[in-house]
Structure 1
Amino acid sequence: MKTITSYAEFWPYYLREHARPATRAWHYVGTAIAIGVLIAVIMTGRWAFLPLVLVAGYFFAWVSHGLIEKNKPATFTYPLWSLFSDFRMLFCVLTGQMGAELRKAGVTPDQVAE
């Protein structure tokens, strides 16, 4: 694979690496839990629990890549773009934009049959 040099190139790649609906669902759960933990840490001031934000987010993502998508998580190669994309993907699904984004990235239903 060639090196990706811009986020505009990365986003379609990221979506293709998350082609299966179950993979995306696991990411949504992990990202939502991570947000919840971060809010709880900030509200309670229990900063020792801050690492749980990463654990919550990445546990679900990495499990989904290993068990469902069977590929290497993009975060290992592009950590910041991948983190941003986890939140972007959650935003897209919550606002009804995910289908259009997947189509633009070339992810079609026949590619993701479970």
Structure 2
Amino acid sequence: MVLNPSNKKEDLSERWEGKPELYRLFVKFIRDFKENWEQLNKLQGLNEIAEELKQMFGENVTNQAFREQAAYLEKSRNIKGLAVIGSGLLVAATTQNAVALERNTFYGEKKDSI
């Protein structure tokens, strides 16, 4: 019996009883997921990471997660809760030796029409 860790009343393995092929498919899913997760951790750059996440979880879920993360970072920056340390790593503004990010007021230069 395999109980759901967040709901001890739910038996995750009840469908496998008498159906060993379902158990084998579950094990394959877990192994494939572990392999994909390890690959994900080796990737660099948001585009590569996003593409891998889309393969793992679907495009809608991935896009929504990226939108929420961007909104959270923007909100943190706007209230001066976001800072950067020497290496360029974003951290909480309360981190020692961190420089708070300023509000973005650059909207490009106005160019004369030709």
Please indicate the TM-score interval, normalised by the length of the shorter structure. 0.3 to 0.5
Rg larger for: 2
What is the TM-score of this pair, normalised by structure 1?
Answer: 0.36
Q: Please identify which structure carries the higher strand content.
A: 2
What is the TM-score of this pair, normalised by structure 2?
Answer: 0.36
Q: Which has the higher contact order (CA 8 A, sep 6+)?
A: 1
